[in-house]
Amino acid sequence: MSTFSYIKGLGFHVPERIYTNTDLEKIVDTNDEWITSRTGIKQRHVVEDETCHDLAYEASLKALQEAGMEAEELTHVIVATFTGDMPIPSTSCLLMERLGIKNIAAMDLSAACSGFVYAVEVARALINLDPTAKILVCGAEVVTSRVNWEDRSTCVLFGDGAGAAVMVAGTGDESGKILDTLVRADGNHGMNLTVKGGGSAYSYKAGDTVGVENFVEMQGREIYKHAVRSMTSISNEILKRQGLSIDDVDVLLPHQANMRIIEAVGKKLGILREKVFANVDKYGNTSAASIPIALADARESGFIKDGDLVLLATFGGGLTWGSSLIQF
Ligand code: ACO
């Protein structure tokens, strides 16, 4: 009997402070009508003094609790993020320390908004190597730390938060079975979506002033087209690889970047609108945290029910994209 990876527990956490579209009208020249009609976003959660690993910690506690596991049982911690607390130590090491555990593997993974699905793929490979592995996979971001609050074309899009999943091996048909995962990238178009500052090619000297390169810069239209194309094609590819059709899917759960993108992907895939999960209106785009927040939210709210086949589709900077099929 072949070994599969299972999601045993899910959890998410967002900071308390909320910026509504109306709040943003006081910061940049924008308005609720523009943001709502172009993106579907109504509000986003923004940190006050929490760090990335604080958010990851709260989400992880919930995922561990749902899995019925203690942190001491974990063998690996993976945090997908591009807005970790600091380059060194990694956010996964900070998270481990906070969870009160040591002497296990910890690493951060950088694939922008696709980071969580990439981390799931890495965890699946680790579980195949060692079926006793118990892996905490987290997507955690303080995207607002990398947002230029003077750039209305980007600052309205993002929010902060974290989502976490506990992954273990199994063989049966219990809930959370990951049937397949696919991840892809294309560096040719990477410069359409950048955060350059702080990287070694854009490093600062003591006393330098931070410029716009420190923040998200984006060719919105290019990214929009890539997002729709890539999420649609990888979803079709993973379904084909599993001998399934879109009619077998109970829930499509896409990266929560923009409602227009989410609806366009659903339409191209030919899935009923009521099967498509969206919470971008409440949280905005939380990058690598978006998929695990959406998964945990959809499970908690009953949108994903026992027995449902869930299709994840994601895209992000790099450019990167990916998909996963999970049987709950
Ligand atoms: N409020 C009011 N007006 C605005 C705002 C704003 N917040 N932002 C831009 N505008 C103006 C522009 O200045 C422009 O005005 P002009 O015509 O006078 O020059 C006008 O609105 C149209 O701007 P566009 O950029 O052409 O607007 P578009 O319809 O393309 O929508 C958007 C922009 C929403 C960003 C869209 O391109 C998009 O969704 N792209 C994908 C972005 C995305 O999802 N990124 C996530 C990437 S991060 C990740 O997930 C990895």
The pairing of strands 43-45 and 134-142 is unpaired
Give the contacts of 78 (CB within 8 A, at least 6 positions apart).
Answer: 92, 106, 107, 108, 109, 119, 122, 123, 135, 136, 137, 138
Instruction: Render pLDDT for 252-290 as a digit per residue (tens, 0 to 9).
Output: 999 999 999 999 999 999 999 999 999 999 999 999 999
> Atom of ligand 1 at shortest distance to CA of 285?
50
> Atom of ligand 1 at shortest distance to CA of 221?
37
How far does CA 99 lie from the centroid of its chain?
A: 21
CA separation for the pair 157, 149 (Å, rounded)? 11
Number of C-beta neighbours around residue 214 at 10 A: 17
pLDDT score, position 173:
83
Angle at 113 (CA atoms; ends 111, 119), nearest 5 degrees:
50
Residue 110 CA, ligand 1 centroid: distance in Å: 25
CA separation for the pair 104, 309 (Å, rounded)? 32
Residue 151 CA, ligand 1 centroid: distance in Å: 10
pLDDT score, position 275:
98
| Active site positions, annotated | 113, 255, 285
Residue list, ligand 1 pocket, CB within 6 Å = 30, 34-35, 38-39, 112-113, 152-153, 156-157, 193, 218, 220-221, 223-224, 227, 257-258, 261, 285, 316-317
Q: What is the mean pLDDT of residues 167-178?
A: 92
Q: Which helix H or strand E contains 325, and what residues bound it?
A: strand 320-327
Give the contacts of 321 (CB within 8 A, at least 6 positions apart).
Answer: 114, 183, 184, 185, 230, 231, 234, 313, 314, 315
The full DSSP string for 104-150 is SEEEEE--GGGHHHHHHHHHHHHHHH-TT-EEEEEEEEEGGGG--TT
> For residue 171, what pLDDT band results from cuts at 50, 70 and 90?
confident
pLDDT score, position 150:
95
> Atom of ligand 1 at shortest distance to CA of 224?
41
Residue 286 CA, ligand 1 centroid: distance in Å: 17
pLDDT score, position 38:
96
Q: Which helix H or strand E contains 6, and what residues bound it?
A: strand 4-13
Q: Which residue has the tokens 């609108």?
A: 273
pLDDT score, position 172:
86
pLDDT score, position 1:
58
C-beta separation of 126 from 226 below 8 A: no
Preceding amide of 89 cis, omega within 30:
yes
The pairing of strands 76-80 and 134-142 is parallel
pTM confidence score:
0.96
> For residue 205, what pLDDT band results from cuts at 50, 70 and 90?
confident
Q: By alpha-carbon position, which residue is closest to atom 34 of ligand 1? A: 38
Q: What domains can be seen in the chain, in order of their start residue?
A: 4-173 (3.40.47.10), 178-327 (3.40.47.10)
pLDDT score, position 5:
97
Residue 28 CA, ligand 1 centroid: distance in Å: 14
Q: By alpha-carbon position, which residue is closest to atom 41 of ligand 1? A: 224
> Atom of ligand 1 at shortest distance to CA of 290?
50
Residue 160 CA, ligand 1 centroid: distance in Å: 20
Q: What is the mean pLDDT of residues 141-166?
A: 97
pLDDT score, position 190:
96
The answer, yes or no, to whether residue 303 has pLDDT greater than 70, is: yes
Residue to probe by mutation, ligand 1, list 36, 221, 255, most atoms within 8 Å of CB: 221
Instruction: Render pLDDT for 38-73 as a digit per residue (tens, 0 to 9).
Output: 999 999 999 999 999 999 999 999 999 999 999 999
The answer, yes or no, to whether residue 328 has pLDDT greater than 90, is: yes
CA separation for the pair 273, 271 (Å, rounded)? 6
The answer, yes or no, to whether residue 237 has pLDDT greater than 80, is: yes
